Amino acid sequence: MAERRFTDTLEEKLALISPTVKAIEFGGDRPYLGELQTLLRQHLASLVVLFERDPGLDAATADLYAAAAAVVNDSTKACQPLARKRRLLKEAQARFHERIATARPNERNPSAPWRRNELFLAA
């Protein structure tokens, strides 16, 4: 029963992350992308605390957020080609899903605020 509830929660949170990443990938105006970036950060933070600390999952989460932040921050600038950043975002999302699939559920209290802040320092 508890495992099923965990699986449902996991699927629900992943279902929120994927469309947010897709929306960032396809772009929009700067304020809209900024809101999506904030939303992605909230979704990722609420998801990673469900799992035991795993450096691979932490790195994949930070990479996904950093790739999304790069797309958002450079969307209005003439920086590196946007196609490259979109590809990096897709690759980061694939790595994130691979790590989530192998991560172990956190049996302890899922409130780890230090972890939420630590993951997003790079972006």
Per-residue pLDDT of 22-41, as tens digits, reads 888 887 777 788 888 888 88
Cα 26 → chain centroid: 16
CATH number of the domain enclosing 55? 1.20.120
**Which stretches of the chain score pLDDT less than 50?**
none
pLDDT at 72: 83
Containing structural domain, residue 100: 2-119
34 and 72 in contact (C-beta within 8 Å)?
yes
Number of folded domains in the chain? 1
